[in-house]
Structures are given as structure tokens and as C-alpha cells.
Structure 1
Amino acid sequence: MADRTPHPRSADLAILGDSVHVHPSTTTPESGSPERSLLEPYAKFRQDPLSAFQELGLHLAGTEWRSYDKIIGQPIFYPGFSENMTEMVMKQKKLQKRIAELAQKRVEVEIHEGLLGPTGVEGEEQEHRTRRLARRRQIEDELCGVAEKWTDQMICKMDSKYFIRSAYYIATQLLTRAYHQGIHVNSDEVLHLRNVAEKAAAKKQSIIFLPCHRSHVDYVSLQLICYRLGLALPTVVAGDNLNFPVIGPFLQHAGAMWIRRSFGDDRLYATLVQAYMDTLLQNGFNIECFVEGGRSRTGKLLQPKFGILSYFLESIMSGSIEDAVICPVSTQYDKVIEVDSYVRELLGQPKPKEDLMSFLSASNVLSLKLGRVDVRFKDPWSLRAFLEQQVSRLHKETTSLQTMYDEALKRKLLSTLGYKVLKDINDVSVVMPTALVGTVLLTLRGRGVGKSELVRRVDWLRDRVRAQGGRVAHFVGVKTDVVVDKALEVLGPKLVGSVEGLPEATYYAADRFQLSFYRNMTIHLFISQSLVCAAVYTKVKHGGNDQTQQISHAELHDYVLFLSQLFRAEFIYPTETLTETLKTTILGLENDKVLQTTHSNTTNNSAPIISLHPQELASGRENFTFYCFLLWPFIEASWLGTISLFMLTPRWAKSRDVEEKEEEGKEATWQDLTSFQARAQLLGKTLYHQGELSYFEAVNKETLKNAITRAEEEGIILVKRGKGVPARVRLDSEWIPERDEEGRVVMRGRLWELCERIGAGRRRGGNAVRTRVLALVEEVGRGLFGDAVPDPGATGSDNLRRRNMQLTKALL
């Protein structure tokens, strides 16, 4: 079906090789439109060697835009750039002050140890003072040498324009062979970005690009866009796990800077990173970093990480810089290259170390047709203006950032900044056809779906996305069945299977776990509707007459609040209050004829009652269950994480002697956190295959980890962490379930009640945990308390390591 609803949007600008194509959204491309050329961005050496060599020659010679001479921003490509950058970093006052402080502290330690002579000895004080001063200067010189070495290892080294021309050519060749439809941006957004960049360059201010992070392709695509548009390439903040032979130096000369994944207590290194950030910002160099920290393995935005953001905040609030420009960026894919490896990690396999061989093995995907990449830019904004606005909101009197600078304020500002950036990213994100198809396939009740029904539901979902203010890619002037065909081709038969020999083409989710990655790309648009429908489902699931399937507004508010707290580490919620969000959401669902609100009697002042709309009942509840399907896997994962906590129930936890045994057995109840998490995942896998869990994606490591983190935040479990010591976990005494005389867990208590409350929103089963499930929990968790026979010749850590390896094999 064609796009029936006119939706005013800016033109799409397709950046591909040396061509820029503008596709107005209000017109229908004619047959043979330039978009077809996106399939072959460059001439291939085997098919057309002459043209391929000509294209390469144009890049090496720097013809026209390829010369990259007239960039918008500060000069970055010249011999000696790296040496100049190192010198500026080393001259930073913060760094010099830190080096002096560390040297002085070391001298004080050596004085205390008697290495620099005794204090207070008559006639020798001047000699000792001179000796200590010389020692301090020696230590300062050594620390300066260390800092300079670290700086050289850290900074990006964009010294050669010829190198970057070649790098651009190679990167475009590789990327547009994998993503054969190219990189697409919004023309109005990039034209506005160029204008902002010109103004920032005139003020010598930096643009800080803050993209979402789903793939290593994220930073490559942004660098290519900046190069093609003539913007100064940003310095990309990257973890040093990517700094391996061959690839590491290449990336460093193309714009990457390397920082450690963890700084620990190394104050010199932390100050060095701040000094480098200050240097970049003071000189107006652009920067790119990922507000989520690492790549999202689940497809949805992760919670913000505040490490690098804190350095930007420090630069402003300490007065090191006047201002910087923040530009949130959304990067979306028809298909993400790394999803296969993400699934393995989420199922418990250790993350492989980055090296050249793994990089080369990833090159196999370059021959695949993965669709296109869509990059969208939020309207950039001033970091200083944002901070001043927040400070003014927190403190009624007008106060400068410098006078209000304290750690409590910094934490509040960091949190607000991080979530604003994530909201901006969601606001400009484009929903890809693969995400629409994946979402539809995972929100249908049947085993499979016919082609016509699939197209109808994709049409419905596309309209719902737009109604929520979202954007949809690929639909301009193209019929929905064509878009669906392209999406099915990109997803491939390993993710979406088809049944042969039927009157109509029929498709089914062949790999639900992988498809959930694409479903999660849409869930942020519907999280409020999903929470409300899940609350209504707590009544609908029991069936019966109309009265038993209704829920009062007070009950609905209570359960939505419970679920929103349960998933606060999973989703980015609207910024309005819960009351405002509920009112807007229910009204929208009423307008869509999914829900209806009535009153317990004829007066409007009576308590409102929410139930399914008659039209929704007549249609088989398909739209209502769509919203529930989005949230059910997360409810199951949270339920699994909570039921797993029963594995931590001590063997002595009988009702009459908990009080006496608590102190005596406390140390015995501490369990290795990694072992517990592995067993929780094994429990989930078992429950799924035995029919107690409906969604295999509920056993993924990240969602389980979030559930366990929430349990820690709520005080349900206690976690003991120490430097160089594995983390350990145990139940808080208030949450320990009781056991009966035969040692079985008694079905009551706070943990039991929590499981039942979460279970109320589950798709299948009753609210209570059945005896068979608890028996399985006991069986899987048995080894946690040393019931497994240890190897008499091995140490405790050897046995623990062996048990963890066995669990990992079981999970895989």
C-alpha cells in the first residue's frame, strides 16, 4: 500500500561515494531514479578496472571536494600537529599542578621512611632541604616523562592530509559495500549543522557530537559525513581495547584518541585526560564520544554514562573554556553488523578480545547487502546556556557556574545532561523497515503471518510511529509491500523464515532473540502505552465478564508506577510527571479505540474505570496485545531475576531459627556474584525450554543484570565488592524466605510477594510461583552453597572457576 498520509518532512540527502543525491519527500521518484545508483557507489576493480583506478586517482590527487582544503573548523592536518598537541597538553596548569602535588606527596613518604635524612637535626637542615628539593624535581621530571609518553599514546594524530584522503576512500569503499544503499542524512539538518559549525569556528568553539552507540560503524559513518560536508573531523573518544596492531595506529591517525576503560585510582591519568579535553575545547577542535559508554547489545538506548561528560562539565564550570556546542546524533541501520556476536555475549559467552584476526573475520560481512545507514542530527545547543538554565532552576538566585561549583551540583547537572542527550537522540531517530518488520513478527500471537497481513500491520505500525512523533525511513513514494520485501531481504532467512508450498507467502520469526534487537529500536516510542496496557492486562488475563476485566484508575496508576520503577534502568521515560503521562497516554489509547474510560455510577465525580474498548474486543485485541507484547519480555526478565534470588536462600533459613543463625551463618551465605548470575541465566534457559517462560530473550545477560542491580538498589540483596576480589552477594535478612521442616521454601514473605506482583503482568501462568518452579530453582542453585563435591587437590578459586566454566558451557 502506498503512503496514504502526507507527512511533511525535509528532503533526504544520500551521501554515497562522490555523489550527493537529494530526494524530496513530497515527490515520488520516477522509475530509474538516482537512488538506484546507491547499489554501486564505486566502480569495482573486477568489473570496471579503468573507472576504479580513475576514482582512486581523484582521491589521491585531491580533486575538488576530495582535497579537503577548505574545512569548516580549526586546522588539523599539517606536519607537526601531534607534537604541537602534546606540547599544549603538557602546558596545562591542571596537569602541572597535579604533577607537583604527586611529587610532593612522594617526597613526604620518603621523608617518613627516612630515605631523605632525619628532620630537625641542627646544622643539617639546609643540606636535607636541598636534597629533598632536588628529589622532588627529579620526581616531577619523571612524572612529566610518564605524562608525555601517555599523551603520545592517547592523542589522535591527524598529521597527514594525504593519509586522511586515502582513509576516506578506503572507509567509503568498505562501508558502502556492506551497506549497499549508502549513508542517508536529512538535508535541512546537515545544512543547519554547517551554519552552526561556521559560527562555532568563528568563536573558536568546539562541536561535541554525542551519538548513540550500536555498532563500530557509528564513528566511521559520522567521520565520512563530516569529511563529505567539509566539516573538521572530530576527535573520537575510544576505548584502548581497539588499539591493537595495524588497526589501532590507522584509527589513531584517522581521528581516534585512546583512553583506558577504567582509570582506577590513577589521579595522574585522570588529570591528563582532563588536560587533553581542555586543550581540545580551548582550541575549538571537534569531539565525538558516546553518551552510553559502550555499544548497546539490545538495540535500545542504554542509560547514560557520565565519565567523559564529566570532563566537558569540568571544563565549563572551572572556567577553562567559555562554551561548547552539543550535537546529539542518532545512527540507525537496516541491519547491524555485530548482532550475531551480541547474541552470543547476551547468552553468556565471554566477550572476545579485540584483535586483528577478529577485525579481518568481520570483513566477511562486506560482501553482504545490509541496506542503508540513516544518520540524523538534533538541532545543536549551547552547553553553557544549558548549564546556566539548570543552575537557575535549582537555585532561585542568579549565580555564576564557578561560584556554584560543587560535587552535589555536578552530579545533578551530569544526570540532567545525560538524559537530555538521550531524549534528543530518541527525538530524531529514524525507525528502519527492518525494525518495523521485526516488531510486527514479535508482536503477533500466531506462529507465522501471511504477506498481506504482514504488510497491513507494518502500515499500521508506521502510522503509529508517526503519530508518536517518530520518523520512518524508506517509505517516500514506495509501496509498503516493496519496503517489506527489501526488509525481509536484509534480515535474511536466518532471522525471518518462510513456509513453502502455501497459497500465500507466510513468514515467521526464525530467530526471536536476534529480532528482538530490531524490535527494541521502536519500543521507546510506545513505552507509556505498553506500561498502561500491561497494567490493564493484569485484569484482562483472568477472563470472565466485563466487570472482572476492568481496572480502577487508582489500581492502574499504582501498577504503572510499580512497573516504571521496576524498569527504570531499562527505558528512557517522558520528562512529564507520571500523572501527566498517564492522562495523555490513556486519552491517546481512547482516541485509538484501544481502551475506554467509564465511571462506577452515572456521575462523573465517581471513580474512573478503565477497560478494553468494544471495537478493540471486536478486532481480537490485536492493538492492545501489540503494546503488551512489547513489554512482556522485560516483565519476564524481571520476574526471572527475582525468582532467581530464591537461590540465595540459606539452607538454615527455617522460621524458628533465622534469628539465632543469622550472625552465625552470615559468612556462609555470601556467594560469588558471577556464579549467581550464570546460574540465574541457566535457570532462565531451563524454564524457557520447560514452558515456564514465554520469551527466550528474557534470559539475556544485560536485562538480568539490570534486574539484579535493581534488587541491590532496593536493598533486597547486599553486594560486597573489593579491589582485586570477586564481588559477592547475599540476601538481606529482611528478605530471606523461610523454609519448612523438610527444608522447602515456604510460599510467603516479602520476596514471594514481589514475585507475585511482577508475575501479575506476565503473559502466561498464574500469579503465584508453582512448586515445580521453586524445586528447579533449588536444583540450579544447589552448587552455590558448596553442595557440589569439590576437587580435593584444587583451591577454592580453582573449584569456583571450574564451576563457572561448566555453567558457561551449559548456557551455550
Structure 2
Amino acid sequence: MLDHDSRLPEAAITAPSSVVALVDAASRVERELIGNWLAEGGIAQEFGLTAPVTQLDLDPGAVGARLVGRHDDPLVVPVRVLWLPPERDGVRRTTFSDLLTLTNPRKPHPIMQRRLINKAPDRHLVLTGQPARLSELRANNPGSAGAPDAFARAIVRAGIVALERAERAVIGDRYKVPRLVVEEILDSPEFLRRLDAIAADSGTPAREVYRRAEKALRELVAAQSRLVSDLFTQAMRPVHASTWKVDADETGLDRLRTLNRTHPLVFLPSHRSYVDAFVLGDILARNDFPPNHVVGGANLKFWPLGPIARRTGTVFIRRSFGDDEVYKAVVEEYFAYLLAKRFNLEWYFEGGRTRTGKLRPPRYGLLNYLAAALRSARIDDVMLVPVSITYERLNEIGAIADEQTGGSKQAEGLTWLASYVRNQQHSAGHVYVRFGQPLSARERLTALGDPLHAAGTPESTGETGEPAETTDAEHLAVQRLAFEVAVGINAVTPITVNALTTLVLLGVHERALTRGELRTAIAPVLGYIENRDLPRGELDTLRDDHGLAVVLEQLAVAKVVTVYRGGLEPIYSINPGAHLEAAFYRNSAVHWFVNRAILELAILTAVEAPEGDQLRVGWEAAYRLRDLLKFEFFFPERAEFTSQLTTEMLLVDPDWHRRTAAGTVGADILARLAESGFIMAHRVLRSFFDAQLVVAERLAARDPSLPVDKKAFGDECLLVGKQMLLQQRLHSPESVSSELFGSAVKLADNHGLLTPAADPADLAARRSHFAAELRAIGGRISRAATLDPSNRMEAL
């Protein structure tokens, strides 16, 4: 009954004067089974004891009346009957057919229990949990002196936890679920002190604060059910199995399984689809991981999905709770509780599904709660697991693209759920699940500047036990940790066949290509990917005509690509109106090519400069481009970025260091870029800079003395962006995106171009300069496109 996994020392159970069997029985049948087992010497046989055994209900009232006040030191052993589902194909599992008996095979009705004893004796076991001396239970609960009721509840919780562990040894770790969470948290002296402090600060009666805390806890805590988890997994598995072939990182799973024996894991996946949690959850269940507590938004709380999801481990947290200190305290306490008990968590730290296909900027709220738990010393450490979930094709992508051009998001509900299930009936190729290098939250936060003060110090807690205000250094450390998680996700995200195919097709500006021309354009990029040993899907299928034909036909079925078959041979292009969908697939891998694209634009800038100044101008251009794209991509520190860009340059020109000793980039550098077989700037960066140009020009046209309403300004950018596209001032429809405009507005705000200034003339000049700079970058991107062999007919 200890609250950890180690067994008691042998001396602790040797020759006790008496034994107390805490019986957890829900029916007369279970009580008889346990009574018979005890009478037949079950405990004596299991532990080699001869001491007399007293039978006591695992109930706070009984424990408080007959155990808490004892002056001897009996050995306390929890006992329970475990019911097992029937064996099917060598595996004991619950199926929907079991429900025809109107009972849960893991908790059968008493009438069914009686039948099972006679007809299927292999369907039950009498289990004992890890025993403990009464003195040790007192030592584990130092606040028990003078609080017999609280101590009785603590003994009951310890007994239930010990029995749950014993059950998992039989049925597997995937059935690890917490019990009596609300009760244990509400018995925590530290939590009660914090509630008292909130009551005192707010002038609210303590009883009212306790009531609100209990209500928030019962709303928040996931009431996991093994039966519902089994049935939900079986219901959803065929829906998704017919859609994707799952390709999981087995090596990463083995590493995580070992790590999970000593640390709680927090899975932080990329978020591209509603199906992410199902895919990851199924992989973990198949590999016998305990179920994650998945933190989700209240938008998915509708019936029947909400009640089912809550019973499979989903924690529905309010999107915003402002100054509600009680709810904030409850969330922090619940997170700390789960991690202290080594339950695994999962949340989507981008805050929502990506609309563009690449990672969104992270949200820091839940990571702040995790850091608070570390600072308070409630937990020793947590391992953060970056997870990349990448789909070759995604059936919901049309709706995602529509939202970017001003369409309304369909509200989640029964109609939405039916449509979602129906859409999953179409085959969509592979889904790749990759696990990045786990990060020690304590180690990384400390390295990033968070001192993580020990609990009880003035820095970590207030005088009342309430957490101290978070410092700027602590905020910054959490933000940088989120950045490292994002980098970890990108580092294992594979390049898929659709990502590479759309990358090429989006770069030829409305032209259609034959399969042979496509293979010619793809080949040098494949060589680049192999040379850098980048993670990838089944890209070899793009090398031969048949494999490429299959990929293109599947994209045509998804209405991303259109095929013209009336001529000499089929030709392929991006379907009109499907540029955002194509960009979504491309952008899942676009981060692998950003440095190459920046290098190309830096070179084009450098060759415009006087000969002796070209290297300086080129590097300044690269750093400026990095700054302009900082809200779109995750760049390393400047020194590391410089090293990465130098490595890219050596791939283009192995003699780069020798040739540039004189401070010039060389007259033939543009030819060397073209000879590499591909150019990336127009494929990778054009849509982002086009969106920035729309924002910059609209700002330049505004009265600098007037404030900017960001929502109204975003709507204006969408309308004007569509006009600029029709006027061919923008290159492609993928540039007209509310998501890209939103990032561009953040960039403008970061550069001080949104808020009215004391000197309106200066602000107007800076806005105009910003727009002119982006027009110049757009010109260089157009020049880069002309260097690309795939845009020269003779090269194809």
C-alpha cells in the first residue's frame, strides 16, 4: 500500500503480530470469494505468514472505526476480486457483443458473477495489493495525527491504488487509470491552504471557495473507464484503419517505454487533424502504454462525444478563465497531482489545428502549469516528448482551406461528427508517427534561465503557501522550452510523397507537367534530401513512372491535382481553387528547405552589391530574412543559424571558403545555383512574403494617427488580397490566407508598425519603407524562379 512501485523490505512483512485484510467487494459473491480464499489460507500462502487475519471492509467508516486507532502494528493487505473478459484469439478483451448481456465483463452483475464461478472459473482472480505496516501508513501521512477521518480516507486511497497496480500486472499498463482523484486533492493540506489564501484575498467565504473548487474539480477530472476505453478504441479503429496505414516509430516507442518506468511523460504532438489523438492513442494502447490524459478544448464536449471522451481520459479545460483564481488553482493542482502520480499527459501545444500544414506558434499556458509544478517541488521531473503526426492525405483539408479564405468553421456537433466519420471512408495513404528526442523539463528550464527554486523558499511560495508571481526570466524560459519542443517535432517530421509532389507543382506557376517532366524536376530534390539524410516517407515511389502515376492519381481523386488526358499523354497541374490544399501538404515539409531558400535570396541580394561588399551584404540579407520570417518558422540562435547556412552553401559550392577569401561571392554563383538542379525560394517563401506585402501596403495606406482594429484589418487584407491576386500582383491563391495575414500582422506589430506613434510622419515613413522592402524581396523571388530549371522548358 505504499504510494510508489517498490516492494516492501522483507523485514516489513516478516512475523507481524496480526494481519488486517482490507476487502474491496462490491457484491455478496465477491465477499464470499474473498472470505473463502482467506479461510483457505490465501494470505498465509502468498506471504508465508502465520499471524491471525482480521477481515475489514475497504471503506473510510470501517477503517476509521477499527484500524486507525489501533496501538499495535498490523500488516495491512488490500484484497479484491478481479473479473476478466473472455479470451478471444489468445487475448482477453471486451467487445460490443459482451454488451448484449447488459453487463460489463470487467464488472459483471452479481447474478452473472454466480454463473461465471461455475461455468468459467478462469474469469476471476483474487488479488492482493502491496502490503504495508500501519506504522508505515502513518509515516506516509504525516498530517494524520489529530485527523483520524483524513487518515482513514488516505488508507482507503492507498489500498485502492495498490489494488490497481496489482490489476495492471495482470491486464497490462494500458489500463492504468486514476481513482478517487477529487477526494485526494480535496484532502491535500497544501491545496486547502491555497484555497484559504484565495478566500482571504478575495473576501469570499471559505466555504464558498471550497464549493467552487470541488465543482471545478468534478468538471475537470477525467473519469476514465476501462470498458469505455476498450469499446471506443474498437469502434474508432476500423474507421481509421480503412483510411490510413499507420507507420509508427518502433525504436522511439521502446525508448519511451523504458523512460516511462521512472518518469511521467508529456506527449506534445503536432496538430493537423481531429484524428491525431485517436491515431496516437491507438499506437500507445497497442504497445501497452498507460492511457494519456488528453487535454482538450470544450468545443468537443458535445453529446455523445464529450461524455465518451471524458471516460477515455480527455480533460476538458476552459479556453479562458481570466481572473478566476479558484479555477486556476484547481488546474494547477490537478496537473501536479497527475504528474506526481506518474500519469502521462498529452496536449496540442499549438492551441489548435494548423491551417497551413506547418507548425503554428506555440501556446504557453499549459507549459506554465507544468513549470509551476516543478517550481513547487510537487514533482521531481517530467519528460516532454515531441511527436510528429504527418498524413500523406487528409480528408478534412478542404474545410481547413475554406476557413483561410474567410469561410466559417463548422461548429462541432452531431452533424459534424457524422460528416467526419463519413469522410474517413476514403483511403488516404500513410500516417507517419515519429517521436522526437525526449526533453527533461527540469534540465531544460534550468538551462534556459528558470532557477526552479525549491519548495518553501521565498522565491517559490508566498507566506500563505500560494505560488509566487512568475518572473520574466521564468516566462522566457517556458517560451524557449516550447520553441525547443517545436524544433524537436520538426526534426523528426518526414517528407511525404505528396509534400514533394506539391512542392514541385506549386513552383511552376499554373503550368501542367507530364510525368516525365515531374520526375526530372523531382530528381535533384530527392538527391538533396538523401544527401542531407532527411527523414522521409516512401519517396522512392516517385522515381519510377508507375509509382509517380499512383501518387498523382490519388491527388487527383482528392481534387488537389487535375489531369488532362486529351493530348499525347496525361499532364498534371494544381487544380484551380486547390492551391491552399496543395500548400498544406507542401508545408508539412517546408521547414526542411527554408534555409536553402534564404540562402538563394541572400545570394541574389549579394550579387547586386559592389564586389568588395558582397559577403557582408549577403549575410545581412540572410539575417534580415530570418527576422522577417520569425513568426512563421523556428530558427536557432544566430551563431547556429550562420553555421547551418554555411553548410547549405557548401552543398551548392564545395569550394565556397576558398573562392570567397577575397570577400566576393563569385561571378558564377548564380549559375552554380541553377546547376544544383532546383531553386527553392519561390517554392518555399513566396506565399509568406506575398501575405506580408498585402499587410504592409494596407498599413502604408492608412492614416498613421488612427489605431488598428486587428480583426477588421484582417478582413480588409483578405478582400484586398483577392483583388491583388486578380491583378496578378500576388503569385498564387495560397498567399490569400487569414492565417498568413495573421502572422504578418504580428510581424508588423513586433516592428512597431501598428500602434499610432507620437510622430505620425515617422510611422508613415517606416510603414512605406517596410512595404518597399517587401516589394524588393518579391522581385528577387521572381528572379529566383527564372533560375529554376523546372521553369525552363529546355531543361525539362
User: Do the structures match in fold with TM over 0.5?
Assistant: yes
Residue 253 of structure 2 corresponds to residue 190 of structure 1:
yes
Structure 1 position 147 matched with structure 2 position 202:
no
Tell me the alpha carbon deviations over residues 257-287 of structure 1, each in whole angstroms, 9 at most, x when there is no partner: 0111112111111111101101101111110
State the secondary structure of the residue aligned to 1:332.
strand
Aligned to 2:229: 164
CA drift of 1:710 comes to 1.5
1:227 partner SS? helix
Q: Given that residues 175 and 291 in structure 2 are in contact (C-alpha distance below 8 angstroms), is that contact kept between their aligned partners in structure 1?
A: no
Per-residue CA deviation, residues 163-218 of structure 1 (Å, 9 max, x unaligned), is: 21111111101111232xx2111222222222222x22xxxx31111111111111
SS at match of 1:682: helix
Deviation at 1:447, TM superposition (A): 0.5
Partner of 1:414: 478
1:535 alignment counterpart? 602
Instruction: Work out whether 1:552 is the aligned partner of 2:625.
Output: no
2:591 counterpart letter in structure 1: H
Query: Counterpart in 1 of 2:589?
Result: 522
| Structure 2 Cα separation of the partners of residues 240 and 716 of structure 1 | 35
Question: Residues 241 and 550 of structure 1: is their aligned pair in 2 closer, same or farther, counting only changes over 3 Å?
Answer: farther
One-letter amino acid of the structure 2 residue matched with residue 614 of structure 1: A
Deviation string, structure 1 residues 349-394 (Cα, Å, up to 9, x no partner): 2333322221212222122111121101123343223334444xx8
Write the letter of the residue equivalent to 1:290.
Y
Residue 99 of structure 1: how far off its partner (Å): 2.2
Task: Confirm or deny that 1:89 pairs with 2:185.
Answer: yes
Amino acid corresponding to residue 246 of structure 1 in structure 2: P
Q: Which residue of 1 aligns with 2:719?
A: 682
Contact map agreement 1:183 1:372 (CA 8 A) in 2:
yes
The answer (yes or no) to whether the contact 1:317–1:402 under 8 Å persists in 2 is: no
Q: Which residue of 2 aligns with 1:570?
A: 632
Match of 2:515 in 1: 451
Output the CA distance in 2 between the equivalents of 1:386 and 1:416. Answer: 9
Counterparts in 2 of 1:400 and 1:278: CA distance versus 1, 3 Å = closer
> Hey, what's the Cα distance between the residues in 1 that align with 2:500 and 2:588?
9
User: Aligned-pair distance for 1:755?
Assistant: 1.3
Q: In 2, Cα distance between the equivalents of 1:407 and 1:436?
A: 44
CA contact (8 A) 1:550 1:611 kept: no
Aligned counterpart in structure 2 of residue 428 of structure 1, from 489, 492, 500? 492
* Residue number in structure 2 paired with 1:709: 746
Question: Hey, what does 2:82 align to over in structure 1?
Answer: none
Which amino acid letter does the alignment assign opposite residue 90 of structure 1?
Answer: L
The match for 1:276 among 321, 325, 334 is: 334
| Cα pair 1:333 1:373 within 8 Å, conserved | yes
Return the letter of the residue paired with 2:275.
V
CA contact (8 A) 2:94 2:230 kept: no
- Matched with 1:258 is 316
1:305 aligns with 2:367: no
Normalising by the residue count of structure 1, what TM-score does the alignment of the two structures yield? Answer: 0.70
Deviations 1:330-360 (A, max 9, x none): 1000112321121111112233332222121
Aligned residues: 615
SS in structure 1 at match of 2:384: strand
The answer to whether residue 402 in structure 2 is matched with residue 341 in structure 1 is no
Could you say which residue in structure 2 is the equivalent of 1:721? none
Q: Does structure 1 residue 316 correspond to structure 2 residue 380? A: no
Match of 1:756 in 2: 772
**Is this contact kept in 2: 1:178–1:366, CA < 8 A?**
yes
Structure 2 residue 113 is matched with structure 1 residue 76: no
Aligned to 2:653: 590
Query: For residue 639 of structure 1, what is the aligned residue in structure 2?
Result: 693
Report the CA distance between 1:70 and its aligned residue: 4.8
Displacement of 1:495 after TM fit? 0.7
Give 1:691's aligned residue. Answer: 728
> Measured at CA, do residues 72 and 293 of structure 1 come closer, stay the same or move farther in structure 2, by a change above 3 Å?
farther
1:156–1:257 Cα contact (<8 Å) kept? yes
Amino acid at match of 1:267: E
Which structure 2 segments of 5+ residues have no match?
1-92, 107-121, 124-166, 461-469, 784-796
Change (3 A) 1:646 1:448: same
Instruction: Report the CA distance between 1:473 and its aligned residue.
Output: 1.1
Give 1:489 shift.
3.7
**Aligned-partner SS, 1:145:** helix
Larger radius of gyration: 2
- Separation in 1, partners of 2:545, 2:611: 37
Contact persistence 2:168–2:176 (CA under 8 A): no
Are residues 582 and 106 of structure 1, via their aligned partners in 2, closer, same or farther at CA, if it must alter by over 3 Å?
A: closer
Measure the CA separation in 1 of the matches of 2:425 and 2:432. 20
Residues in 1 aligned to 2:453 and 2:94: alpha-carbon distance in whole angstroms: 61
CA 1:480–1:263 in structure 2 vs 1: closer, same or farther (change >3 Å)?
farther
Equivalent residue of 1:430, what SS? coil
Change (3 A) 1:734 1:470: farther
User: Does structure 1 residue 488 correspond to structure 2 residue 552?
Assistant: yes
CA distance in 1 between partners of 2:243 and 2:741 (Å): 33
Alpha-carbon separation, structure 2, partners of 1:193 and 1:630:
34
Aligned CA distance change for structure 1 residues 359 and 643 (closer, same or farther; 3 Å): same
Which of residues 289, 296, 302 is equivalent to 2:354? 296
CA 195–498 in structure 1, closer or farther in 2 if over 3 Å, else same? same
| Deviation by residue 1:712-739 (Cα, 9 ceiling, x = unmatched) | 1211111xxxxxxxxxxx577445677x
TM-aligned CA distance change 1:93 to 1:524, over 3 Å: farther
Q: Secondary structure, in 3 states, of the residue corresponding to 1:219?
A: helix
**Taking structure 1 as reference, are residues 88 and 54 closer, same or farther at Cα in structure 2, changes over 3 Å only?**
closer
Q: For the Cα contact (< 8 Å) 1:327–1:380, is it kept in 2?
A: yes
Corresponding residue of 1:234: 292
Cα distance in structure 2, aligned partners of 1:263 and 1:552: 53
The 3-state SS of whatever aligns with 1:328 is strand
Is the contact made by 1:553 and 1:609 (CA closer than 8 Å) also made in structure 2? no
Deviates more, 1:68-77 or 1:298-307: 68-77
Structure 1 gaps, min length 5: 1-52, 108-135, 651-665, 719-729, 739-748, 768-812
Aligned residue identity for 2:669: L
In structure 1, C-alpha distance between the alignment counterparts of 2:635 and 2:447, rounded to whole Å: 21
Residue among 416, 420, 425 paired with 1:367? 425
Q: CA deviation at 1:156?
A: 1.3
| Alignment correspondent of 1:623 | 678
State percent identity of aligned pairs. 23
Letter in 1 for 2:552: L
Q: Which amino acid aligns with 1:500?
A: R
Does residue 555 of structure 2 align to residue 461 of structure 1?
Answer: no
Query: How many angstroms apart in 1 are the aligned matches of 2:648 and 2:758?
Result: 37
Q: Which amino acid aligns with 1:175?
A: H
Q: 1:697 to 1:74 in 2, by over 3 A?
A: closer
Task: For CA contacts below 8 A with separation 6 or more, give which structure has more relative contact order.
Answer: 1
Which of 481, 498, 509 lines up with 2:574 in the alignment? 509
Give the 3-state SS of the residue equivalent to 1:376 in structure 2: strand
What is aligned with 1:808? none
Give the one of 276, 284, 288 matched to 1:218.
276
Contact 2:606 2:665 in 1 (8 A): no
Distance 2:573 2:658 in 1: 36
Query: 2:564: which partner in 1?
Result: 499
Q: In structure 2, do the counterparts of structure 1 residues 415 and 670 end up closer, same or farther at CA, with 3 Å as the change threshold?
A: closer
Secondary structure in structure 2 of the residue aligned to 1:209: strand
Structure 1 position 300, deviation (Å) = 0.6
Residue 268 and residue 422 in structure 1: after superposition, are their counterparts in 2 closer, same or farther (change >3 A)? same
Per-residue CA deviation, residues 525-550 of structure 1 (Å, 9 max, x unaligned), is 1111111212334578x9xxxx9999
Contact 1:213 1:296 in 2 (8 A): yes
Decide whether the 8 Å contact of 1:74 with 1:232 is kept in 2.
yes
Name the CA distance, whole Å, in 2 between partners of 1:401 and 1:389. 19
**Structure 1 counterpart of 2:359, one-letter code:** L
SS at match of 1:157: coil
